[in-house]
């Protein structure tokens, strides 16, 4: 007798929120080590250079995975790619839990970066498959929310519960195992298609129509991601100086405030004009970073965190504004290459300046002098972007645009299906979106 029994799948609404939780948990895992760097440094005796290198290799691994496998789920399906990413994250948690030195920490961060880069493209596209409008907003807000959640939750666990270098990773391991079961029960939302091997070839490029806006956007992209790299690696040490405390919670709080403020800004400004979003982001970045430097000099704890919140608004607004003022200028078949180029700039800016900062802390003027120099550089880059915006003010404004909350390159599927016309509003152009995977 022929069986007509069908496998049970999660309801589509449940599958959507499961995938949103994957974005949050992956980015939470990426920021979870931030409050622990001081603990590792005390146990293993490494310098701030090592701290920034551990952070930097994660950013480079994410970038490599995004460029190579960012569109793979369009060809093999969302579920296999998500299961592979979750498996790698679970392995990362095991390595971090059992790490006995810097080599294991570096290995874990590389694997974690690859897992994040592999999964975020698939999960971002998967949410858009289910609900384009809701997926667009979730892709924009969830990554920064995850970064904020991971840093503060890790700080709380390290500060108040036992097993400081184990418990947070064991908790995340449990989350990933549950999410793996959920993905196994999900229905596939993308039909496999040929071209998987061809999709592994990175596509970089800047369309002629977008050269000017890209040149304006690059300084602010470098500024905001360099700032994120600083808060993810060196800022906990700065907080200890400002507050006069070794609290791991306060070390995680700095990144929480930065990323949380960025997420809130993206949510509040999601319907604003891209150029206005970028302008507000640049202004908030300059004032916020300037405020943090003054607060560090005067050892003002309240001032530091308030200024960090303003800088976080600059992070969210500057990044979204930069992406949204450039992507709509590319034709559909050019967007993948343009976004990939912008992500190369962003992730290099997140990793390399942080490493340079670590070197300057050790071999330059020390922690506080490096903080000032780093902050001034971020403000100078933001001012350069502001100058570019002013120069373009008499040019044609970017019209209707899509809310792009990046991290994986635009898929071939999106490029092939998009019509040869100006970008459509958020609800109908949502396949051009992906997620941020900072950490």
- Helix and strand tally (H, E) in the chain? 17, 0
Task: Give the pLDDT confidence of 20-65 residue by residue, as tens digits.
Answer: 999 999 999 999 998 898 889 888 988 888 999 999 999 999 999 9
Cα(80)–Cα(264) distance, rounded to whole angstroms? 32
pLDDT tier at 338 (50, 70, 90 boundaries)?
confident
Smallest CA-to-CA distance from 248 within 174, 161, 307 is with: 161
pLDDT at 273 over 50: yes
Domains within the chain, CATH numbers bracketed = 12-432 (1.20.1250.20)
Task: Give the pLDDT confidence of 297-331 residue by residue, as tens digits.
Answer: 999 999 999 999 999 999 999 999 998 888 888 88
Cα(276)–Cα(311) distance, rounded to whole angstroms? 17
pLDDT at 206 over 90: no
Cα(353)–Cα(225) distance, rounded to whole angstroms? 9
Q: b/e string for 40-60 if b means 16 or more Cβ within 10 A?
A: bbeeeebebbbbbbbbbbbbb
């809701």: which residue's tokens? 134
Cα(230)–Cα(377) distance, rounded to whole angstroms? 12
At 431 the pLDDT is 37
pLDDT tier at 438 (50, 70, 90 boundaries)?
low
């Amino acid at each position: 007798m022929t069986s007509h029994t069908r496998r049970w799948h999660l309801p589509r609404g449940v599958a959507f929120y499961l995938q949103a939780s994957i974005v949050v948990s992956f980015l939470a895992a990426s920021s979870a080590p931030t409050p622990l760097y001081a603990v590792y440094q005390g146990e293993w005796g490494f310098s701030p250079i090592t701290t920034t290198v551990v952070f930097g290799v994660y950013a480079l691994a994410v970038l490599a995975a995004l460029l190579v496998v960012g569109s793979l789920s369009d060809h093999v399906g969302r579920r296999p790619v998500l299961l592979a990413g979750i498996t790698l994250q679970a392995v990362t948690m095991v390595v971090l839990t059992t790490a006995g030195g810097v080599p294991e920490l570096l290995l874990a961060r590389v694997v974690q970066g690859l897992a994040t880069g592999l999964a975020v493209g698939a999960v971002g596209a998967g949410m858009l498959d289910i609900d384009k409008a809701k997926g667009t907003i979730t892709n924009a807000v969830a990554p920064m929310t995850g970064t904020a959640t991971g840093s503060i939750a890790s700080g709380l666990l390290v500060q108040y519960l036992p097993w400081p270098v184990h418990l947070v990773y064991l908790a995340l391991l449990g989350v990933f195992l549950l999410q793996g079961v959920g993905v196994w029960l999900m229905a596939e939302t993308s039909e496999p298609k040929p071209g998987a091997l061809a999709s592994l070839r990175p596509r970089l490029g800047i369309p002629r129509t977008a050269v000017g806006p890209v040149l304006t956007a690059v300084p602010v992209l470098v500024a905001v991601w360099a700032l994120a790299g600083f808060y993810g690696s060196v800022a906990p040490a700065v907080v200890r100086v400002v507050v006069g405390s070794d609290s791991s919670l306060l070390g995680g709080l700095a990144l929480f405030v930065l990323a949380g403020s960025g997420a809130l800004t993206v949510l509040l400004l999601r319907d604003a004009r891209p150029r206005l979003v970028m302008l507000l982001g640049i202004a908030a970045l300059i004032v916020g970073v300037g405020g943090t430097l003054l607060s560090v000099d005067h050892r003002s704890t309240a001032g530091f965190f308030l200024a960090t919140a303003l800088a976080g608004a600059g992070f969210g607004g500057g990044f979204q504004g930069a992406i949204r003022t450039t992507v709509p200028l590319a034709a559909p078949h050019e967007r993948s290459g343009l976004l990939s180029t912008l992500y190369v700039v962003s992730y290099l800016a997140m990793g390399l300046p942080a490493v340079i900062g670590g070197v300057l802390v050790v071999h330059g003027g020390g922690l506080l002098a490096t903080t000032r120099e780093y902050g001034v550089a971020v403000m100078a880059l933001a001012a350069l972007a502001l100058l570019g915006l002013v120069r373009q003010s008499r040019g044609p404004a970017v019209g209707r645009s899509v809310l792009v909350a990046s991290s994986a390159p635009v898929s071939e599927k999106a490029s092939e299906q998009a019509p040869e016309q100006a970008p459509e509003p958020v609800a109908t152009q949502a396949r051009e979106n992906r997620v941020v995977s900072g950490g």
